[in-house]
Every structure is written in structure tokens, then in C-alpha cells.
Structure 1
Amino acid sequence: MAGSGKIGIKDVAREAGVALSTVSHALNGTAPISNEVRMKVLAVAQRLGYLAERKAKATIAALGTVLLAVHKDQLPHNEINLFSWTMLSGLARECERLGVKLVPYSPEGPLEHRPIVSAAQDAGADGIIIVAQDRYELLNGIRQSGVPAVLMNGEDQDMCIDSVVPSNRFAARAATNFLISQGHRRIMHLTWGDRTTVRRRQEGFLDALAGNGLPIDDACILRAGGYEPSYGEEAVTKWIAEHGGMNGVTALFCAADNLAVGALRALSSAGLSVPGDVSVMGFDGVTLGELLNPPLTTMRVPIPQMGPAALALLEQNIVARDSERAAQRLELGCSLIVRASVGSPSERVARG
């Protein structure tokens, strides 16, 4: 369509070949029209970008300022913090696109609800986005304050406030199912920490074993001291030393790509080939897995979508203004990225 001005209802009517009133009725549901005409109008409005523009205007009206409560550890941009950085960058870009002011709040110590609420009030914030927390006292305190809030990449087990999180358990089950489909039966889960979102990945791993008739009582779960590659390398190196090899393990499912990077280093140092001797699977898809040797198979988390999804939930909460509104948890689906780090176990490895 010629011109670079903003798209209006007249443009939609002209492109769809209908009256202005018909476009209005189709978009607002204010009068009965045929489904064929309604679908035609909606298709044109979407193609021209009018629907996106209407949504953006509605969001701008509901959201002026948002307080971002995040721990300082998640702010630096470095090679081991790509998940948080990518997520926060996506949120910042969406706020910029919508004209929403994002005010960071990152104290030196733990996040506590009273200082967060006070900071939101001082900033004149319409709502709060909290990142990667799962403490009941914190989340319930914010809920009781009455300030609309959304938890991003954290799990509120008591469903006090809205939250956006990857489908950690389902995705981990899918990742493990893929390894099983390739012929692996003795699979190690390399994980770390005790955050709820990470535990969900372990639960998905066990779900897949049970669903495929594999024993879970002696499931091979290896805990690293942290999520950085060095911790993954240390844990796998220690396992190999203590067992004189992989002790029958033919595949590693790592709870983060960072851990997978460390596992690859440890296996290489031990003279084990990937995927010839051991297959390696990651989780999150933020590391440049295609540049590793071999390129890393992983479950990709839709990290850039988390910020926009959190803003949309915050907008819904503000617009609803309903004290009886139930908290909502939005789980985003993850996708399997198959690369060269996973193969079928060799007969030699499977026997040994």
C-alpha cells in the first residue's frame, strides 16, 4: 500500500471494499455481520498492521510506567548470563516500542516486598515486573499491596500473582523423550541449585523415564555447584574420575546450555567423543550452540517472548481492576533444536 502514514479505519475499509461502519462493526462486535465479511475485514486489518496498532494504543493507555524488580546478578551482560540478558533486553525493547517507561530496581541484597512496593509508588509505576523469584513471602507481600504485578521466569506455587514461565517440565520431558527415541536408556540429568523452575526440568526428566518404562528409583541425577560452564565441567570430570568412565551413561541431558558447554569440555578432556561415546543435550538455546564442537542439540526457550507476554498480562490485570480476578500462569512452549551433539548409542558404549 502506498504511503508511510499511520493506518486508519478508512484504509481498512478501502482495502476490504466495505463501508466504514462495516469495519467498525467487524472489529468491535457491535452489530451482526456475516462471518465471511468479518474474516475478510480482520484479515485486511491484520495485514495492514491496524490490529497491532490498536493493541499498542490500548497498552500505552493502560501502562505508563513499570517497575522492574531484578537481582543485580541478572543484569550484567556476559557469556554466562545470556538467558537473563536476552529476556530483559526483549522486555526493554517492547517497552520502548509501546512508549512504556521501565524503571529498574536492583538492590544489593535480596528482593523484599516492602522496598519494592515503596519504589513502585515513588516511581509512579502502574505495575511491577519481578524477575526469577519464587519466595512466597516476597510474592504474597506484593499481592497484598494491591499493586498489579507479574512474575517473569519464576514460579509462584501459591498462584498469588500472574506469571510467565517457560514450559520447563513439559520441555524437559520432550528433551528426554527425544534421547530415548534415539536409543538411549541410561541418561544422566546434569542440573544445579534448588529454584523451582530448575526443579521442574528434573521432574520432566523423571516423567519421561517413567513414561517409557525406565526405572526412576536409581535415576542418574548429577548436581553441579552452579549453572556456569566451569561447574558443569567440574561435576562431569569428578563423575568420570569416580566411576572410571561414564558408568554406562550414554547421554547427558543438561538443565542449561551453560552446563552442556562444561560437560562437552569434560568429556573431551577425558578422551570421550560426542556423540560417538556420549550424546549431550542442552536446555534454553541462548548459548551459540551451533558454534560449539559438535553443535549442541537443545530445547530452545522462547526468551524474547517472555517480556512482551509479561507486559500483556500486566495490562490485563490493570484493565480488569477486579479484586476477585484469579491469578494466571502463562507457560510458553519450547522447541527442540536438533544438531550434531546427539546420536544413537554405539553397541560398545551401550554394553559398557
Structure 2
Amino acid sequence: MARGLGKVGIKDVAGAADVSVSTVSHVLNGTAPISAEVRERVLNAANALGYLAQRRTKAAISVLRTVLLAVPTDALPLSDNNLYSWSLLSALTRECERRAIRIVPFEVDKPTLSGSVIVEAAQAAEADGILLLNDDRSELLREIARSKIPAVLMNGEDHEMQVDSVTPGNRFAARHATNWLIGQGHRTILHMTWEGRSTIRRRLDGFLEAFRVNGIPASHARIALSDGFLPQLGEQAMLAWLDANSGLDGVTAIFCAADNLALGVMEALTRRGISMPGDVSVVGFDGVALGEFTNPPLTTVAVPLHHMGVSALNLLEMRIVNAMMSPPAHRLELGCRLIVRKSVRSLA
């Protein structure tokens, strides 16, 4: 059983692993060749005693003291339409409190704001690193990268791989959800999406890929575009699509690129007297809480929002610790999971 973190030291690990203190030091710091058997014994003991967790926590606190959090204006207020960003930021804030990291919020109030402004704010705050949410414009990321201030982009893609980034595995998760629908017997599926950033386009990529790998003609992969991700825009797009196609036109399932869109789609279907899942199944993406309370409850792809901020802090920590090595940028994709509720009917 692990002992209290404050009471565990390197001597305890050495005793538990039946090796010398110097051997433990060499294993943990990589300063000498150690046999695989001894190395495994030491690491198992250090983990069981809680020493590894203690060491990591101490390192995080000492390395990261202040971070600049650059956030788009529309991601800050809590609303039913903003649960995705708000959940991510809430979890990040709690983790910073746990690690005694000071957050300096910086509101990105214009979509044209330059990276140099963010860099200047970070320098003024004497920040150890920058966390940037959503905004993945290439020029902005170039300016941040040139500053040499460690930075991590959350929920975005740096196509030039200039800074570290952490994002959901959007393409793989969309492919998995679509593949699951196909496994439920659905062959003609509508993807409701919008002209969003690359993270949203990855969901479309995964949707189309599922049809290719299952050998289903591309004509069965239908696509509808909304003017945005808000529920009312999803409702308008769904109503327009139903009008243009004189109904469902053979579609048995609708896969929405966001839960917000799914809420609007479900409202449109209800207005037209189309039952769910009797006439058509509906799946969302994001896993925000409102999906539990729709009628029927929404099947969705849950994004690990509570882990994204933690992962971003860990990437910042790694970047600072390994600064002398100038490691290449990392792109971390987090796995999503499918939550099956009652909005999908099996046709298999």
C-alpha cells in the first residue's frame, strides 16, 4: 500500500526494491546503465509507494509558476451554448490551483489579434509559458513560436508544427462513431456540420473515411452545412435540408459535428413530426451535459475536456524542463469515447 506522499523518500524506495540508494538514483535519473530487471523493480517500488507521483508534483510546482491563458472572448462566459470551452477552462483552473500555478487571463477579443500582442502580455506577466485556446491561425502561432516562450495550443491544430498542441482525436472519434452507426445497420447517413476550424473538418474526414473502409458508396454519405454551431442555426439548416430533399430522402441516421447542432437538429425533426429514433437516429459530438436531458437522450461522442488542460500543463512542463534539447513540437491527441443513449435505433 502506498504511504503518505510527504513521508516517502529515496531510501524508502531503495528498501522496498532491495537495492542501494545510488541504484535508485541512477534508475530515476538515467545516469547509468541498469539491468531491465532491476530497473523494473525500482520503478514498481517507487510507483507503489507514491514516490513517482510526489516527484512529479514537486517538479510541476517548481517549474511552472505563472502561465498566460489566452482565450477568445466568446469562450469565457458560461452559457448553454458554451459548455465545451467552459468545461475545459474550469478543469484547467482547478488543476492550476492544485499545482499552485498562477493564471494570468488574457482575452483575445478580436479574431485578427496578433501573436506579438500575446507575447508582450506574457512577458509583462513574467509568465513561464502560454496556453492558447482554440485560436490556431498560422501567423499568430509563428509569432508566438519566434518568441521562444513555451506555448501549448489547446483544442486546435498547428499545421506547421511550430508549438506544442493538445486536441481531441477528432478524426478517429468521428470515424468510430460513424463505423458504429454502420454496424447498427445504417447505410445512408447525414453529417450535419459547419465551415469551422480544422478540428471540425477532421470530424468530417472521419465520417467519410468510415464509408470508405466499409466499402459503402460515397453517395450514401450525405453532408449538410449549417451557418454555425449554435442550436438555432442547426435547426434552420435541418429544416432547409428536409425541404430541399422532400423529407429524409432515405437517411436513417444523422451524425452532428457538435452537440449544439444536434440540439437544433432534434428540434427541427420534432417540428416536422419526424420521430427519434423511430424514423431517424441522431448522434452528437462533444459530450456536454445537455445531451442527457434531450428527448430522447442524445447518443454522443464524449471529448475528454477535463483532461485537456492537465495535458497542456504537462506539455508546458516538458518543454521547459527539456529546453536545452530544443525538442520538436509535440501534437497530443486525446481519445474520445462513444456514449450510447436512446437516440439511436439499430437496423441490424
What TM-score do you get using the length of structure 2 for normalisation? 0.92
Distance 1:186 1:127, change over 3 A: same
Q: Matches of 1:216 and 1:199 in 2, distance apart?
A: 17
1:122 aligns with 2:118: no
Partner of 1:285: 287
Contact kept, 8 Å, 1:278 with 1:345, in 2: the verdict is no
Listed as ranges, the gaps of 5+ residues in structure 1 are 347-352
Matched, 1:70 2:71: yes
Residue in 2 aligned with 1:145? 147
**Which residue number corresponds to residue 170 of structure 1?**
172
3-state SS, counterpart of residue 308 of structure 2: helix
Query: For residue 279 of structure 2, what is the amino acid of its counterpart?
Result: D
- Tell whether 2:344 aligns with 1:342: yes
Q: 8 Å contact 2:96–2:102 — kept in the other structure?
A: yes
Cα distance, 1:217 vs. partner?
5.6
Q: 1:37: how far off?
A: 4.4
User: How far is the alpha carbon of 1:204 from its aligned partner?
Assistant: 1.0
Change (3 A) 1:293 1:318: same
SS at match of 1:52: helix
Task: State the shift of 1:31 in Å.
Answer: 4.9
Amino acid at match of 1:291: F
Change (3 A) 1:250 1:157: same
Counterpart CA distance in 2 for 1:316 and 1:4 is 22
In structure 1, what residue type is equivalent to 2:267?
R
Residue matched to 1:262? 264
Name the structure 2 match of 1:109. Answer: 110
Output the CA distance in 1 between the equivalents of 2:141 and 2:97: 27
* Alpha-carbon distance in 2 for matches of 1:188, 1:3: 54
Unaligned runs of 5+ in 2: none
Structure 2 matches for 1:1-352, cutoff 5 A?
A: 5-16=6-17, 19-31=20-32, 35-110=36-111, 111-216=113-218, 219-322=221-324, 324-345=326-347
% same residue? 57
CA distance in 2, matches of 1:131, 1:2: 38
Distance in 2 (CA, whole Å) between partners of 1:47 and 1:228 is 47
Contact 2:72/2:107, CA 8 A, preserved across alignment: yes
Write the distance in 1 (CA, Å) between the matches of 2:330 and 2:6: 37
| Amino acid in structure 1 at the alignment position of 2:271 | S
Q: Would the aligned equivalents of 2:299 and 2:341 in 1 still touch at CA under 8 Å? A: yes
Q: Which moved more, 1:336-345 or 1:252-261?
A: 336-345
* 1:302, distance to aligned residue in structure 2 (A): 1.1
Distance 1:48 1:230, change over 3 A: farther
Q: Does the 8 Å contact 2:5/2:50 carry over to 1?
A: no
Contact residue 258 and residue 287 of structure 1 kept, 8 A: no
Q: 1:2 to 1:46 in 2, by over 3 A?
A: closer
Distance 1:3 1:169 in 2: 42
CA contact (8 A) 2:5 2:54 kept: no
Shift in Å, 1:103:
0.7
TM-score norm. by structure 1 comes to 0.91
Out of 327-336 and 215-224, give the one that drifted further.
Answer: 215-224
Tell me by how many angstroms 1:49 deviates: 2.3
Q: How many pairs are equivalent? A: 346
Residue type at the aligned position of 2:336? C
Once the two structures are TM-superposed, the CA of residue 147 in structure 1 deviates from its matched residue by 1.5
